[in-house]
Amino acid sequence: MSGIIYAIYGVLVISFLALAHEFGHFIVARISKIPVEEFAIGFGPSIYERKSKGPNGMNFKIGLFPILGYVKIKGMEDNYDDPEGFYNKGFIAKFFTILAGPLMNLVVAILIFGIVISVFGLPTTTISTVVTGSPAEIAGLKSGDTILRVNNIDIKTWNELVSAIQSNKGNPAMIEVERGTEIVHVKVVPQYDSVRGKWMIGISPKWEIYPLGQSFIEGVKLTFSTLFQMFTFLPELFTRVGVSSVTGPIGIIAMTGEAASAGFLNLLFFVAYISIALAFTNLLPIPPLDGSWLVIILVEGITRRKVSKELTAKIQSIALIFMLFLMFIVSINDIMKLIGK
């Protein structure tokens, strides 16, 4: 039964983040006076449908399967010649209508981080506990140690520490810590945890609670530092290891279950990170993602000439087929990983 509940958690998380993304497009399109033809929650046969009044009335509907959702903006899929449609709007209106989707996902992450940090705190680089028999204990790390550097790389956040350990893999890591008034150097050999799929040294962080205002500032820092790390990881996606690490909706649902089983706090952080990942993915300049639209709009802004609507439609249509095929392959990979567990 718990597996079913965790699967429901995963579906709800993906749907919430997808709807937040679409709502970003929707709200900025309305502000920019670009008609929105349809806003849908879920897919399949409509179980509720209502159209607002007026010549540019929007059709709101809820599908039989209330998972994910979409917003249809006039002039993006058809009606290219409509003077009020997306294609015929100015640079600023089009650019920010597209950018608003990924930005909304970043806003969601900031809000989650801000609330969590103000209530539960933020993990610091100071060690709270050391697991008995772990690589950290064997190396001589102790509770109260503050980690300063890993392999001569400055460490300022717990996230940076985790990334440093993961990138180091099973090689000996030179860790510099502050212990009271002393600076201590230790050599730690991470061990691979097959259950979590991560390299571990066996420590947990001390948490620091911030005032509400400061917590949201820390949330902004954490959100954009995470986004930056994702962009720095981009070249590795083209390696064999990077390709195998790509996860689709099925994998995310499974990971959501794992995060939920580890506790509510862990689940909240996971949702925030997935929201950032969704923003990152959509910012990539790959059709039919938002990033490709942003590139087209930037080209139009620089050249002062509109890209052919026929060419744009053809690229987006072909790319959509490719993305659906890629999603199928990734989903098969996710299923095989689950079977392997």
H helix and E strand count, the chain? 10, 10
Same domain membership, residue 12 and residue 108: yes
Please tell me the total count of domains within the chain: 2
Same domain membership, residue 137 and residue 99: no
Task: Going residue by residue through the chain, which has 341 residues, state the pLDDT in tens, using 9 for 90 and above.
Answer: 466 776 777 778 888 898 999 999 999 999 999 999 999 888 778 888 888 877 778 889 888 776 778 899 988 877 777 888 888 899 999 999 999 999 999 999 999 999 999 998 988 999 999 999 999 999 999 999 999 999 999 998 888 898 899 888 889 999 999 999 999 999 999 998 877 778 999 999 999 999 989 999 999 999 998 888 888 776 665 555 444 555 555 556 566 666 666 677 888 888 898 899 889 988 988 877 888 889 889 988 999 888 777 777 776 666 666 666 655 555 555 555 545 54
Same domain membership, residue 85 and residue 44: yes
Supply the CATH number for residue 200's domain.
Answer: 2.30.42.10
Same domain membership, residue 96 and residue 35: yes
Residue 242: inside a domain: no
Same domain membership, residue 202 and residue 164: yes
Q: Determine the Cα–Cα distance for residues 106 and 47; give it in Å rounded to an integer.
A: 31
Name the domain boundary from 188, 208, 228.
208
Residue 218 token pair: 């820390």
Same domain membership, residue 97 and residue 149: no
Q: What is the chain's percent helix, strand, coil content, to nearest 5?
A: 55, 20, 25
Active site residue 236: no
Same domain membership, residue 131 and residue 93: no
Cβ–Cβ under 8 Å, residues 176 and 99: no
Same domain membership, residue 131 and residue 112: no
Q: Determine the Cα–Cα distance for residues 189 and 139; give it in Å rounded to an integer.
A: 8
Q: Determine the Cα–Cα distance for residues 265 and 260; give it in Å rounded to an integer.
A: 8
Residue 220: inside a domain: no
Same domain membership, residue 136 and residue 108: no
Q: Which of 22, 37, 176, 218 is catalytic?
A: 22
Q: What pTM was computed for the model?
A: 0.78
Q: Which residues form the domain of 43?
A: 2-117+273-340
